[in-house]
Amino acid sequence: MTGVSRRALFGMAGAGVALAGAGVATGVGIDRLGEGSPAHAEPSTVDFHGEHQAGIVTPTQQNLHFAALDVTTKDVGKLRELLRTWTAAARRMTAGQEVVADGAVGGAAQAPPGDTGEALDLPPGDLTLTIGFGPSLFDQRFGLAAKRPPQLVDLPLFPKDKLDPARSGGDLCIQACANDPQVAVHAVRNLVRLGFGVTEVRWSQLGFGRSSSTSRAQQTPRNLFGFKDGTNNVKSEDTDVLREQVWAQSGDGQAWMAGGTYLVARRIRMHVETWDRETLDGQEQIVGRTKGTGAPLGQTGEFDQVDLDVGGAGGVPLIAPDAHVRLASHQTLNGARILRRGYNFVDGSDGVGHLEAGLFFLAFNRDTRKQYIPMQQALSAKDAMMEYVQHTGSAHFAVPPGLTPTSNWGDGLFT
């Protein structure tokens, strides 16, 4: 946790709150002031430093701005310097500070501001910034081919994929998560601004309403099909599982990735209008869980173990062979698991009377070749839910380990 930031102080002052000395703990902001509810103190900053990057097992925030970028220069020195600059800016923004001191309004009137300013009077909102490197970054441009991890494969085209190249791939990615959407947008916008002349946005995605939980302290959210999503997700408390299934180890092929992980991003269009015409029983058969409690079929509680063999009338399995929960189960996938961190999205309409809505799926795993890919191959080929969804974007990134207060995002690549 970091100290109360200048931006957080602006936020509190703007809400008409007098700081009461010891009444405001360091690293704690005050939310929901002026909304007719009692002042509610909750942590507002997430430490930028640590063994792993923040924004992976961090309790999932409510909002996302994800951007994939292409590097437009062939000058490796400029790329290296940009990663230093981005790290410094991210370090400040996640602490609730402006990109640079006095950036928005305190600089020279004749120069563009050093911070765009839209988060100036907002609390930090638990902002996390997470960076990843795509397979294309390791081509011939920057001499990084020998640094490419074997796990960072080009994702295959899965059955029923309908990928839009304008929503896929990228040399770099920035994942910004925050409990205030404007804080997340501000962070990505300013990193993009700092990258002018070196990078440009390839595609981006806004998300709202987290569709998974990454801590047992969080309630399981619901997706746009109305079902609880990610009940069996790997949680931050599952340290042994994280070590085995999420974090790269030094012996995995590239020592610089030890403590990192691999991020799969998939934009999944959900045909909600078609789903809404399915019966409740049909929906529950497709998912393999009840819609109300989220319990696996044949069980009573959300967190009851999935029993893939439990039979119903005539001995017919209650969880169908093509049910989503069966095909995504680690019991079916030889023990393979992933850590999910997805968000709902609604990007307007498609012009023919349907919402352009869905799930922006984010998953972290130790080896995508052995975890996500076989899982998605099974789902794409057999999952009854595929009639109601379509994958329209796809990308894969190596997420390097966390930082110390003196290191930067480019250290693993260039040292």
pLDDT per residue as tens digits for the range 166-224? 999 999 999 999 999 999 999 999 999 999 999 999 999 999 998 889 999 999 999 99
The pLDDT of residue 282 is 98
Using CA atoms, how far apart are residues 364 and 266, in angstroms rounded to an integer?
12
The pLDDT of residue 315 is 81
Other CB atoms closer than 10 Å to residue 42's CB: what's the count? 12
Using CA atoms, how far apart are residues 29 and 81, in angstroms rounded to an integer?
33
Task: Write out pLDDT tens, residues 67-118.
Answer: 999 999 999 999 999 999 999 999 999 999 999 999 999 999 999 999 999 9
Closest CA to 138 of 182, 101, 91, 170: 170
Q: Is the pLDDT confidence value at 18 over 90?
A: no
Mean per-residue pLDDT over the chain, rounded: 90
Closest CA to 280 of 226, 228, 341, 221: 226
Domain boundaries along the sequence of the chain: 63-104+112-413
Token pair for residue 184?
Answer: 């997340």
DSSP for 134-150 reads -GGGGSTTTT-GGG--T
Using CA atoms, how far apart are residues 149 and 17, in angstroms rounded to an integer?
50
Specify the amino acid at residue 122: L
The region of weakest confidence among 14-23, 105-114, 320-329, 353-362 is 14-23
- Note the helical H segments in 173-332: 181-194, 239-245, 272-275, 280-287, 324-327
The pLDDT of residue 313 is 76
Task: Write out pLDDT tens, residues 164-179.
Answer: 999 999 999 999 999 9
Task: Write out pLDDT tens, residues 136-152.
Answer: 999 999 999 999 999 99
pLDDT greater at residue 315 or residue 375: 375
Enter the DSSP assignment of 156.
P
